[in-house]
Amino acid sequence: MHLEEKMIKSETVYEGLIFNITHDTVLLENENTAFRDVLWHNGGVCVIPVTDNNEIYLVKQFRYPFGTTTREVPAGKLERGESPEICGKRELMEETGFTCRELIDLGEMLPTPAYNSEITHMYLAKGLEFTHQNLDEDEFLDVEKIPLSEAVELVMNGTIRDGKTQIAILKAARILKI
Amino acid sequence: MHLEEKMIKSETVYEGLIFNITHDTVLLENENTAFRDVLWHNGGVCVIPVTDNNEIYLVKQFRYPFGTTTREVPAGKLERGESPEICGKRELMEETGFTCRELIDLGEMLPTPAYNSEITHMYLAKGLEFTHQNLDEDEFLDVEKIPLSEAVELVMNGTIRDGKTQIAILKAARILKI
């Protein structure tokens, strides 16, 4: 069928901590075969927490593949069987210490659909209330608060580089007319 | 140092077609060690082609990890040593048949910085001129033209799910005041 690819063979070549890798053979629509290396990931959730004054909280953390820190919206991996909403509230609480009265669905993001099955579920959190941060023993990050309008500038001028964070900020700004 | 992780050991566990995987051991700031599985990727480029009437071209293609088609901005992998601008113009031409007079830098996107070294360079292409599409023998995709305003709606209502495509559309809309 037009555009479709059919799996002929799938070989697991790595089983890792947060993803597995397969090397698959597929049949193309022209009857040729091709190889597809795929990273299989259980999915993630990110939450942009917005205050009543249209400020947002970002977390600054070290990202090993780049050897540097990035500023990102609070986020984490989905546990198997966990709902995205529950996961989003859990990660928001753990990383920033905030609960929220309302989670607004911002849709999904496929970070790299060519070779990665990860889906990132995105939410905007309103009605924030601070309780206490609850990081894992080996998790380190700094929380920063900035106006959403400034965050939009940091996205547009290339300073904020994380994909889900760019989308969450630009969607929040459009919803809140900023 | 605060937030920093130091590599102690790196083991290549898979060398693939478009990425390699390493299983690394790092030293955290609390002197504990942790494991980091990382996908190493050479980087990519995407281009949102915008007509003089504020319409854009998207490509619909099969994405094997999801078993379905997605609508995305034209994009491709950086060849080793290739400049992002050259790559962007090449992919735009190959996938849609358009040359462009102007490429406007939309910044970078890190799709999944926790475990993936890919950087996607993003551009807006103006001054489009059709020549001819030039797909690889085993590359299949359909080109669609839609108003940028409609593309923004498809991003905001969750229909367009690809990350780089959401960012490119929202940035283009902000720049063009749509």
Tell me the nearest-neighbour CA distance from B36 into chain A, angstroms. Answer: 8
- A75 is a domain residue: yes
* A127-137 pLDDT tens trace: 999 999 999 88
- B30 is a domain residue: yes
Are residues B67 and B143 both part of a single domain? Answer: yes
- pLDDT greater than 90 at residue B1: no
- pLDDT greater than 90 at residue A27: yes
- Which of B35, B110, B152 is closest, CB to CB, to A17? B35
- A93 is a domain residue: yes
Are residues A119 and A93 both part of a single domain? Answer: yes
Taking residue A79's Cβ as centre, other Cβ atoms within 10 Å add up to: 12
Are residues A31 and A65 both part of a single domain? Answer: no
Averaged pLDDT, A61-70: 98
- B33 is a domain residue: yes
B27 close contact with A: CB closer than 8 A: no
* A153-174 pLDDT tens trace: 999 999 999 999 999 999 999 9
- A14 is a domain residue: yes
Kindly provide the b/e burial profile for residues A103-135, where b requires at least 16 CB atoms within 10 angstroms of the residue's own CB.
bbebbbbbbbbbbbbbbbbbbbbbebeeeeeee
Are residues A146 and A159 both part of a single domain? Answer: yes
ipTM of the complex: 0.98
Q: How confident is the model at residue A139 (pLDDT cuts 50, 70, 90)?
A: very high
Cβ partners under 8 Å of residue A159, min gap 6: none
Q: Which A positions 152-171 lie with beta carbon below 8 A of chain B?
A: 152, 155-158, 161-164, 166-167, 170-171
- pLDDT greater than 90 at residue A1: no
Give the domain CATH number at B167: 3.90.79.10
Are residues B78 and B157 both part of a single domain? Answer: yes
Cβ–Cβ gap A111/B108 under 8 Å: no
Are residues A23 and A82 both part of a single domain? Answer: no
Are residues A100 and A127 both part of a single domain? Answer: yes
- pLDDT greater than 90 at residue B106: yes
- Per-residue HEC secondary structure of chain A comes to CCCCCEEEEEEEEEECCCCEEEEEEEECCCCCEEEEEEEECCCEEEEEEECCCCEEEEEEEEEHHHCEEEEECCEEECCCCCCHHHHHHHHHHHHHCEEEEEEEEEEEEECCCCCECCCEEEEEEEEEEECCCCCCCCCCCEEEEEEHHHHHHHHHCCCCCEHHHHHHHHHHHHHCCC
In chain B, the number of structural domains is 2
Cβ contacts (< 8 Å) between B155 and chain A: which residues? 107, 171
Q: How confident is the model at residue A44 (pLDDT cuts 50, 70, 90)?
A: very high
Are residues B32 and B50 both part of a single domain? Answer: no
* B151-174 pLDDT tens trace: 999 999 999 999 999 999 999 999
Which residue matches tokens 């299983």? B23
Averaged pLDDT, B58-72: 98
Are residues A100 and A152 both part of a single domain? Answer: yes
Counting residues of chain B whose pLDDT is more than 70, the rounded percentage is 100
- B34 is a domain residue: yes
Counting residues of chain A whose pLDDT is more than 70, the rounded percentage is 100
* B71-104 pLDDT tens trace: 999 999 999 999 999 999 999 999 999 999 999 9
Are residues A60 and A134 both part of a single domain? Answer: yes
Closest C-alpha to B117, from B47, B37, B46? B37
Are residues B57 and B115 both part of a single domain? Answer: yes
Which secondary-structure segment (H or E) carries B33? strand B33-40
Are residues A155 and A98 both part of a single domain? Answer: yes
Domain carrying residue B26: 6-41
